[in-house]
Structure formats: C-alpha cells, structure tokens
Amino acid sequence: MATYIIGDIHGCYDELQSLLTQAQFNQNTDELWFTGDLITRGPKSLETLRFIKGLGDTAKIVLGNHDLHLLSINEGIFPNHKKDNLTPIFEAPDCNTLLTWLRFQPLMRRHPAFKFALVHAGVYPRWSLKKAEKLAKEIEVQLQSENYKQLLIDMYGGAPCSWSNNLTGIKRMRFIINAFTRMRYCLPDGSLDFKNKLSPEQTNNANLTPWYEAITLKPNRSILFGHWASLMGKVNKSNIYGLDTGCVWGNSLTMLRWEDKKYFSVPSTIK
C-alpha cells in the first residue's frame, strides 16, 4: 500500500491520469490525498470531480478556495464566468450529487499513522495542529448544515485579517476559512496579507513572512499543502511540503509518495 499526495489539479484531468499511470497507482491498495482546488480553469473539471468521487474511500480531499467558490456559484451567489470552465458541471445530470459530496469534505485532514496534516493553503502559525483541527470542524459543521448557503454568502472578504479567540459569528468563520484556503504571508503581528501571491524570492517586503516559516511543529509532525503555485514546491522546511506546481498555468502536476518521499511530475498540456 502506498500513500500519494497530489497538488492542485484545477481540472487538469489528463495530467492526473498520466501521473497515476507513471506512479503505477493501484486503486485497490493505495490512497490518494488531494490538496484541494480540484476544479476551475482547467479543461476537465467535471471529469476530475467524477473520477475522485468515484474512488470512494481511496480518495481523501480537503477543500480549497476554488472548491468553495464552485459551491457559491451553484447557489447563485456569484455568476458563472466562462473562463472558469465550470459550465459542464452545472449542466451535468449528476451535478447535485457531485456538489453535495464536495460540500461534505473537510478543510483539514490528519493521517492517523504518518502524523501529517493535509490542508489547502496552510495552518495559521499561531494555532497548534490540534486547535486548527478543532476550528476546521467548526466550519465543516456549518457547511454541512441546512443553513450552509448563508456561510457561503458571508465568507467573502479579507476582514478580519487577525485572529483572536474572542472572534465570534461570521468574523470567526471568515478568518478560519481564509486561513485554511487563502493564506500565504503573515505580518509580524500575526495578521494575514491576502494580496501578495508572489514567491518569497520575488518579494522584497521584509514585513512579510511565509506562513510555513512562522509556524513551529513538533519534529514528528508534517504539513502538506497546495494553493501557492508560484512557490513551485520550494519550501525550505524539512517537515512542510508544498505540492502546487501550477499545472493549470502551464507548468506541471506534482505528486508525492509519502513512504519514500519520492516525487512524481508530469508537464501540463495547457499552453
């Protein structure tokens, strides 16, 4: 049995299949863990959703910002833009089945044996993994409730950008969602900057610190994440792994086999 962790797919279904073939993935014995953002902008978002859902318990995913936005579009909160290539999902006979399945996915997963945490954007540096898991479940309860649409309406925006245990209501929910699905840089006071999408090498602002450089983990704990395509997987910490290598932007799709830390990669077919 092997455990594979795959970066943001964004509808790049053909590349996903090539990656699984390259690694000789066995659906009967192996597991696939996905960093979220399964859909949007790539050519085959519908096929990607159907395939991953069809894997059943073999697939373990977390929600990304684009996955949540897909749910919002489906509820009429935002328009469906042609550039996102999502229309086939909304026109599919199994649309409701697929999106209900998506809505019931978590923001964070922890592997029981390997002690790694899987998230889309990251773990807020001032949270322990235990606290992060508890806060993620607060969102999951709301997202899976009958009143989930209100959460989707209220989650947009960058405020508050700082965490406090005293936050309540939508301010609390919004910060938690933003930390798990949109975070890249932190400021010295612990607040989050959502504007800068560049890699640290491209950033000259000394006040901005990548979240993964600000967090402290126990030696036997690890975090795997996606979201930050401009990093191209370059994270200078031995127990934190960035897996989004920008397939939808014409770069590559990357997968890590956890047991031996071997990487697999296929070039994007998007030009």
* Category of 65 on φ-ψ map: left (φ > 0), alpha (ψ -120 to 50) or beta: alpha
The pLDDT assigned to 219 comes to 87
Residue 27 has pLDDT above 90, yes or no: yes
Distance CA 239, CA 218 (A): 9
Domain count within the chain: 1
Residue 16 has pLDDT above 80, yes or no: yes
pLDDT in tens, 242-270: 999 999 999 999 999 999 999 999 999 99
| Angle, helix 65-74 to helix 95-103, in steps of 10 degrees | 130
Tokens matching residue 211? 């979240």
The pLDDT assigned to 228 comes to 98
The pLDDT assigned to 128 comes to 96
Of 108, 13, 4, the C-alpha closest to 64 is 108
pLDDT in tens, 70-110: 999 999 999 999 999 999 999 999 999 999 999 999 999 99
Whole-number average pLDDT of the chain: 97
Asked if the bond preceding 160 is cis, omega within 30° of 0, the reply is yes
Cα dihedral: 64, 35, 227, 161 (round 10): 50
To the nearest whole percent, how much of the chain has pLDDT over 70? 100
Distance CA 203, CA 184 (A): 12
In sequence order, what are the beta bridge partners of 224? 118, 241
Tokens matching residue 181? 């699905």
pLDDT class of 271 with cuts at 50, 70, 90: confident
Q: Which domain holds residue 85?
A: 3-267
pLDDT class of 48 with cuts at 50, 70, 90: very high
Q: What is the CATH number of the domain that holds 183?
A: 3.60.21.10
- What global pTM score does this model have? 0.97
